[in-house]
Structure 1
Amino acid sequence: MSIEHAAEVGSGDERDAVTTAATTATYPVAPGVRLNVRSGPGTGYAIVRVLPEGTRVSIYCQTPGTWVTGPYGTSNIWDNIGSGQYVSDTYVLTGSDGYFRPRCS
């Protein structure tokens, strides 16, 4: 089991905030994965919540961080899905192996 798989689930309000985006495209988290959301772009950052299986996320910007191997390859790209919330791009089906959103500032 990958270090990004999780053993707990966030609240319904948190899930709703991630899965609803009126004007932003959303991308699916890998099937069967409950994904840790971290406070920064790396596995050394604290887990702030956990996304349940079947979640879709909006990606606002991307930034380099810890290298991670997941269902969609190995990468150091981390996706910002909200204020202080990052997930490894290797767990999100974006259709790209590289950066496709602006770099986080």
Structure 2
Amino acid sequence: MIGLVACTVGAMAGLGGGIIIKPSLDMLGHYDLSTIGVLSAATVFSMAVVSLIKARNSNLGIDRGNSFFIAIGSIIGGFTGKGIFNHFVVNSGLSTVIGIFQSALFI
């Protein structure tokens, strides 16, 4: 249900995974940070795939050269950010506090 709401709001307002899914799942308290990250990433990836398919079907021109560099930069940035975040979570031992702080920042 949270994913459906995130996708609907994401389609209307450009918000989605990190802004809606992460704080909502944190608030429920049923999942740890890594599971929430995977769920959020999968939902955002699904929304991106649907957007690309819609853009392709609408004959909207996509600049493949720039798109490639943006995609590579996104992948490198995602792995780098995940590595830094995981480093702080593992070394601090405060995953619950970090989760609350991260949710507060998103809100």
TM-score by length of 1: 0.23
Higher relative contact order (Cα pairs below 8 Å, separated by 6+ residues): 2
TM-score by length of 2: 0.23
Structure that is richer in strand per residue: 1
Highest CA radius of gyration, 1 or 2? 2
Structure that is richer in helix per residue: 2
